[in-house]
Amino acid sequence: EILIGLVGSEMCIRDRLLIGETRAETVALTNAGFDESQVSGLASKLSYGSDGWCYKVSFKTLALEYTYKIEAYSGAILDKKTR
């Protein structure tokens, strides 16, 4: 069952098959070799684009900024950028 609606100006999607923001953050942090206590500015957002539904996860360490695109159903890492 998929429910799509607006909460204020934000799109709200309820789908039991989505991995969720917390899991997407864990996938990105694990791939980068960090846990939540070692980063700052951890944020994630569900969005729809050319790759379908994805979570965009971002965070910073002392040295780098990380941005991940995580597939919303499988948890597969579709893209990773550092700067």
pLDDT band, very low/low/confident/very high, at 1 (cuts 50, 70, 90):
very low
3-class SS string, the chain: CEEEEEECCEEEEEECCCCCHHHHHHHHHHHHCCCHHHCEEEEEEEEEECCEEEEEEEEECCCCEEEEEEECCCCCEEEEEEC
Residue 8 has pLDDT above 60, yes or no: no
32-74 pLDDT, tens digit per residue, is 999 999 999 999 999 998 989 999 999 999 999 999 999 999 9
pLDDT given at position 17:
86
